[in-house]
Amino acid sequence: MKKVTILQLASILLMGVLLYVGCSKNGNLQNKNVAVKIAPVKNAVLTLIRTVGPYSCGSYISGYSDTPVGAHSYPDATLNFGGVANGSSIKLVCDPLQIPNRFTIYNGATQVATTGWIGVANFSGPWGSSLNVPGPATITFSKTVNSYTLHVETSTPADSTDTYQINVYCIGGDSSCGTPPCPDSICACGKVISDSYNTISSYHFYPDKPINLNCRQTGDSISIYCDPVSVPNRFTVYDGNGTFVVTSGWVGLAKYSGSWGFADNTHPFSKPPTTIWFTKGSTSNYILRVETQTPPNNTYSPTTDDFHATLTCH
């Protein structure tokens, strides 16, 4: 029987991974992660993960690199603006969350726009001996073709990781999403919803906040980061028919009892900000309903309520 060497076996396994990834790119794997493993240098394996498209107006793009080996690029992403009028402005808000990244848009082989290297590093890389250009940065270009390529680069020291995130907006000439916060009549993607209430010793329902998702397809994932800035809140999403979709439950900090249960100075109620998720159904109209309960008297601080809710389309 013919023996298979370790090197031959490793080559076979690597081919299998590459074939799998190639098939995934041409299949129907949407809104998941694609992982590509390569071995560019001895004793180092690079893992690159990027959320999978399609990407267009209102999209959220993120990437993660683990066990990096210096300068490298993420798998290129395709931006599709076939439903956007020529001449419309396309805006990408690019955030290098950990170490530096460079974000570049191409039309074929032609560079359209770039952030250059942004981020903070006290080590050398393609940017020079160090870098101090905190993100995020915005790149804007006019749409002239239907498809563009997004190229993201990073360079990491040993035993470090990289992450980034991008939000895509279309400004004018389409029915998707303009400069955030987007008008409710267009699209809620990227919108920050906030409000305040100043009456003490009171249970309060804020006016319902409309969430218009005309710009998104059925099955798209929607997330809302719910931040009870001062006293507790409960964030709940309903569809246009008034059907319950998802809730955060009560979140926030209180040293007094309320709808969340018993609490006092010794046993405070404490739940941090949270993110709620739902999948867009056949309807495009949703509402966000926010509740609060303020302290019983002025011996507590704070005595008023504020909240922020940030909506992201994935």
Report if pTM > 0.95.
Answer: no
Rg (CA), the chain: 23
Average pLDDT over residues 184-208: 84
- In tens, the pLDDT along 25-61 reads 333 333 333 333 333 333 334 455 555 566 877 777 8
Could you tell me if 62 and 314 are in contact, meaning their C-beta atoms sit under 8 angstroms apart?
Answer: no
Q: CA separation (Å) from 208 to 144, 271, 274, 290, 301?
A: 39, 23, 20, 7, 26
Give every CB contact of residue 2 below 8 A, 6+ residues apart in sequence.
none
Record: fold of 192-313: Jelly Rolls (2.60.120)
Length of the chain: 314
Q: Which residues, including other chains, have CB under 8 Å from residue 5's CB and lie 6 or more apart?
A: none
Mean pLDDT over 102-107 rounds to 96
Give 93-145 as a DSSP string. Answer: EEEE-SS-EEEEEEETTEEEEEEEEEEEESS-BTTBS-EEE-S-EEEEEE--S
Q: What is the rounded distance in angstroms from the CA atom of residue 224 to the CA atom of residue 278?
A: 9
- φ/ψ of 45, rounded to 5, equals -125, 130
Phi, psi of 142 (to 5 degrees): -90, 135
Domains 9-14+31-171 and 192-313 equal at CATH topology level: yes
Which of helix, strand or coil describes residue 289? strand
CA atoms 215, 218, 220, 224: torsion sign: positive
Token readout for 189 is 């993607």
**Range with the lowest mean pLDDT among 100-104, 148-152, 171-175?**
171-175
Average pLDDT, the chain: 79
For residues 177 and 56, give the distance between their C-alpha atoms in angstroms, rounded to a whole number: 10
Measured distance CA(212)–CA(205) in Å, rounded:
20
Strands across the sheet with 33-41, in order?
33-41, 44-51, 60-66, 162-171, 89-96, 137-142
d(CA 167, CA 91): 8
What pLDDT sits at residue 260? Answer: 96
Give SS3 for 256: coil
pLDDT-derived band at 170, boundaries 50, 70, 90: confident
Residue type, 181: P
CA distance 297 to 134: 43
Alpha carbons within 13 angstroms on the beta-carbon side of residue 43 total 2
Neighbours of 191 (CB within 10 A): 24
β-pairing, 274-279 with 221-228? Answer: antiparallel
> What are the structural domain ranges in the chain?
9-14+31-171, 192-313
**Residue 239: DSSP 8-state:** E
68: tokens are 């990096």
pLDDT at 152: 94
Closest CA to 259 of 244, 246, 269: 269
Phi, psi for residue 156 in degrees, rounded to 5: -120, 150
3-class secondary structure, 133: strand
Q: Distance (Å, rounded) from C-alpha 123 to C-alpha 129? A: 6
Give pLDDT tens digits for 129-157: 999 998 889 999 998 998 999 999 999 88
As its CATH architecture, domain 9-14+31-171 has: Sandwich (2.60)
d(CA 210, CA 224): 13
pLDDT at 199 over 80: yes
Q: What is the pLDDT of residues 218-262, one digit of tens each?
A: 888 899 989 998 899 999 999 988 999 999 999 999 999 999 999
